[in-house]
């Protein structure tokens, strides 16, 4: 069952399912959606009413507050005001994401539009359904852009409003085996009939240079950039600038791919494989299993597909 099918299955209160049970199931579903993209969700605060979720998640270097409701009636302005009060009381610059599976009363949306500070984004059922298909981060990124460019807190997501970019995707890598890994994965995606973005690879020749090479590509040539590198060492030893650059790239994916994805015993074993062998193994990975259990793999797929 796909993520979208699981969500649709909760829509009409299946026989034997109470609103409280659906709230718990929706909480688990939402956690899974965010976890697949490595957004570190925390939605464990479940209220007795059973139809609200309070929590937070992480995206591109910052934390967002989250509240989700699945009520019978549309959410009124009073509920939005209450949530905005929570956001206003947190660290300056905090953004809140409010999800209503039953929609919003007209005055609820206008209440935010006329406010002085825009720090809450609104999602409805269609937005959540789209997120199940294309990824939560893609829908969130679209809404953030609309809020920044138009001052709109509620612009329903539609894939037709975001055409695929004609610019190639620049992949900053540490070594040739990183390139072979992605080439093998995109070869498989194309074989499965999925459109893949044009890729160009720039080696940094080491972990330390990853951020600097990526910044040069972004600032000097205005490229769309991701960072992808195999790293099996202690994450605490990664350069700090990889964290700071995340918001300037489409993704920073640095981790133990040789062991976690290929099942090798160490990064050294990956170095011993001929490039064609590495490409072949990457194209024959268990994509379904990896997308379910590894948020970074799921995110890579979403970034490289058009």
Q: What is the share, in percent, of the chain residues with pLDDT greater than 70?
A: 90
Cα–Cα separations (whole angstroms), residue 205 to 75, 92, 208:
53, 38, 9
Region 230-238: mean pLDDT is 81
Per-residue confidence band for 61, with pLDDT thresholds at 50, 70 and 90: confident
pLDDT digits (tens, 9 = 90+) for 82-119: 899 889 888 888 999 999 998 888 677 777 777 668 89
For residue 152, the model assigns a pLDDT of: 77
pLDDT at 123: 93
**Beta strands 52-59 and 224-230: pairing type?**
unpaired
Residue 140 has pLDDT above 90, yes or no: yes
For 177, list phi and psi in degrees, rounded to 5: -65, -25
- pTM beyond 0.85, yes or no: no
Task: Note the pLDDT of residue 128.
Answer: 93
Identify the bridge partners of residue 63 per DSSP, sorted by sequence position.
Answer: 58
Residue 51 has a pLDDT of 43
24/228: higher pLDDT: 228
For residue 297, CA distances in Å to 71, 243, 254, 294 come to: 34, 18, 11, 5
Strand bridging mode 120-123 / 95-100: parallel
């Amino acid at each position: 069952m796909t993520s979208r099918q699981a969500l649709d299955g909760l829509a009409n209160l299946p026989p034997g399912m109470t609103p409280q049970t659906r709230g718990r199931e929706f909480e688990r579903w939402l956690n899974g959606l965010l976890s697949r993209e490595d957004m570190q969700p925390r939605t464990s605060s479940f209220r007795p009413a059973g139809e609200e979720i309070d929590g937070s998640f992480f995206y591109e270097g910052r934390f967002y507050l989250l509240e989700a409701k699945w009520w019978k009636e549309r959410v009124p302005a009073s509920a939005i005001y209450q949530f905005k009060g929570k956001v206003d009381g947190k660290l300056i610059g905090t953004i809140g994401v409010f999800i209503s599976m039953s929609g919003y009363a007209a005055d609820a949306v206008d209440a935010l539009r006329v406010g002085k500070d825009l720090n809450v984004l609104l999602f409805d059922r269609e937005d959540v359904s789209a997120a199940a298909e294309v990824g939560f981060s893609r829908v969130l990124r679209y809404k953030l852009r609309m809020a920044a460019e138009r001052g709109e807190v509620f612009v329903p997501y539609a894939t037709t409003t975001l055409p695929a970019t004609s610019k190639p995707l620049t992949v900053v890598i540490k070594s040739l085996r990183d390139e072979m890994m992605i080439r093998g994965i995109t070869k498989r995606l194309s074989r499965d009939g999925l459109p893949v973005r044009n890729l160009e690879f720039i080696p940094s020749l080491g972990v330390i240079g990853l951020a600097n090479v990526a910044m040069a590509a972004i600032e000097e040539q205005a490229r769309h950039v991701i960072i992808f590198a195999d790293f099996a060492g202690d994450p605490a030893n990664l350069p700090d600038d990889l964290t700071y650059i995340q918001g300037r790239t489409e993704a920073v994916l640095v981790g133990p791919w040789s062991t976690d994805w290929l099942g090798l015993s160490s990064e050294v074993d990956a170095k011993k494989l001929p490039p064609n062998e590495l490409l072949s193994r990457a194209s024959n990975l268990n994509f379904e299993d990896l997308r379910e259990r590894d948020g970074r793999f799921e995110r890579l797929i979403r970034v490289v597909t058009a």
